[in-house]
Amino acid sequence: MDVLIPYHRKSSKEDPRISRERQSLATSSWANARGVRLAPEIWEPGVSGSKHWSERGIGKALKMIAAGEATGIIVEEQSRLSRENGLATAEMWDAFQAAGIRLVCINDGLDTANGDQELNFGLRALMAREQWKQYARRVEDAKRNAVARGIHISGTVPFGYERDPETKRLVVRKGEDKIVRQLFKRRAKGESYGSLARWLNEVVPGGASEKGLWLRPTVARMLTNRVYLGEARQSTRHTKQGAHEALVDERTFTVVKALAAKTEPAIRHEGESLLAGIVRCGCCGYSLTRGRSNKTYWVYRHRNAANQALPCEAPATAMCEALDAHVTEALFARALDGVGFETHESTAEVDTLTAKLDELRRERSTYQEREFVKVFGAEAAAKNIAQINVEIDKVEAELAELTRGRIELPDFAAAREKWPTLSVEERHEILSSVITDVLVTRSPHAPIASRVEIVFVDEAPSVARPTRGSRSSRNGTKVDAGVLAA
C-alpha cells in the first residue's frame, strides 16, 4: 500500500494558518477517497519556492522515501514543489524517477501512478517559474517606483528623521537634526568614533533605539549612510537624489568617508569561538570574546570593558569549556523535549533576495568552470568572479538584515548524534539558529548554571543589546506593502 508524504508550503502572501489548513484538507480528502495512507506532513511556511529543491523539504522527503518510510509525495498543486529554472526542475523530476516514487499533484490532475507524466510536469513547472519571475519583476518595479517617488522603503527610520504618515517620505526630526549635523562636523575634524559614541550617550541617552547605547560601529555606519545627503535608495540599484532634506553637505560627507577608509577594521570574534556573537555580559550587554587566561585556559571576557562608550560596572567572564557545554545541553534539552519555536513568515523582499542570491551563485559557478577559463583566460574569470562576489556580499548583507530573527530549524536529533564530529562553525550555526543571547553575570565561585541566562528566539532578553543604529519607526508609522503599491 502506498504511503505518501504531504508536502505543504506557504506562499509569501498567504496567511500561514489558512494556507496550511487548506492544503492539509486537500491532501487528506484525496487520500481518504482513494484509501491511501499519509505520512507525517512536511510544512515549510517561510522558504522560497525558488530555493533549490534539495535544500528544502523535498530533499528531506526523498531521504524519508529512501529510508523506506514512504513511497511518494503528495501536494495540493505542482507550484508548491518548485519555482526554479528548467534545469533544477528537470533535476528534481530525474530524482523522483530514479527513486521510483509516486508523485501526486491534486489540483493539476497529475498522478505518476497513471502513466508517464513528464511532459505535463515540465509544462506546469515552466508556467510556475514564469509566474514567479513576473511576481519578482513586479516587486522590483514597486521598489523602483517607490524610490523614484522619494520614499525611504526601509522598515527603519534613520536617526535625525521621521516618516511623514501621508507621503511616507522622510522629514527632519527637530532636535535630532542638529545632533546629526554636529556629529558629521566633529568627525570631519578628526574626532574618534569612541569619543563620538561617548558624546552621543551623554546628549541622547538610550541610543538610536532609545533602549540601548551608542556604539562605535553604530557611529561608523551613520557616518557612511547616504540618507543624510538626502538620498532615497534601495541597495545600489535604485537611488534618488533630493528625496528629502539633507542633513550634511557633500563636501563634509566626502571628508568623513575619506577618514573612514583610513580606519582600521574592527576586531572580529575568534574563529574557534562556539558562542561568537551570542555570548554577552549580563551587566552592560556588550559582547564577550574568546581569549586566553594565564596562557592556560580559554575564557569568554570583555575585550576592553573600561574603554567602552559607557564602562561596565561588573564585567563578566566565563570558562569557555564549561559555558559551551552548559549552553549545548540546554539547547538539546529544550529542542528534544518537543518545545516548538515559532517560525517567522517570509516576505516578498526576502524571496526576491533569495532568488537573486541563487542566481548570482549560479552565475559565479559558470566563471569557475574549466571550459570558461580555457576559452577566456584566468584573468577574465577572476575579474568576473570578483565583481559577482561584491554583489553576493551586498545581497547577503541585505538578506541577513531582513531575516534577522527568522528560524530555519535543523534536525536536532541528528545534530546531537553527530555533534562530536561537527566542526565549531557547524555547531555554532545550529546553536545560533534558535539561541539569540547567552547572558553571563559576574559572580565569583558560583556554578556556571546559576549565572547564565539563555535566551531563545521566541523570548526577550533581560538585558538589551547596545543599539546598532537606526530606530524603527519612532513616530509609529512603518513602510508596508501599501507603500509600494501606492
Give 322-358 pLDDT, tens digit per residue.
Answer: 999 999 988 888 776 654 454 444 567 766 777 787 7
pLDDT of residue 327: 92
Q: Using CA atoms, how far apart are residues 281 and 306, in angstroms rounded to an integer?
A: 13
Q: How confident is the model at residue 398 (pLDDT cuts 50, 70, 90)?
A: confident
At position 350, the amino acid (one-letter code) is V
Half-sphere exposure (CA, 13 Å, Cβ side) for 332? 15
Q: What is the mean pLDDT of residues 10-17?
A: 71
More confident residue, 479 or 160: 160
Condensed to tens digits (0 to 9), the pLDDT of residues 16-47 reads 788 888 899 999 999 999 889 999 999 887 66
Q: What is the per-residue pLDDT across 429-444, written as a single tens digit (0 to 9) for each?
A: 788 877 888 999 988 7
* 217 residue type, one letter: P
For residue 178, what pLDDT is reported? 93
Residue 305 has pLDDT above 60, yes or no: no
- 275 or 153: whose pLDDT is higher? 275
Q: Of 323-327, 391-395, 470-474, where does mean pLDDT reach its minimum?
A: 470-474
CB atoms closer than 10 angstroms to residue 260: 13
C-beta of residue 165 within 8 angstroms of C-beta of residue 482? no
- Name residue 271's amino acid: G
Band (458; pLDDT cuts 50, 70, 90): low
Q: Let me know how long the chain is.
A: 486
Report the alpha-carbon distance of residue 177 to residue 244 in Å, rounded. 13
Predicted confidence (pLDDT) at residue 76 exceeds the cutoff of 50: yes
Helix (H, G, I), strand (E, B) or coil at 162: strand
Buried (b) or exposed (e) across 229-251, using 16+ Cβ within 10 A?
Answer: bbbbbbeeebebeebbebbbeee
Q: Would you say the pTM of this structure is higher than 0.85? A: no
224: cell is 557612511
Three-state SS for 239?
A: strand
Angle of helix 320-335 relative to helix 424-434, nearest 10 degrees, comes to 50
What value does the mean pLDDT take over residues 79-93? 60
Q: If you average pLDDT over each of 73-82, 239-248, 374-383, 465-474, which comes out highest? A: 239-248
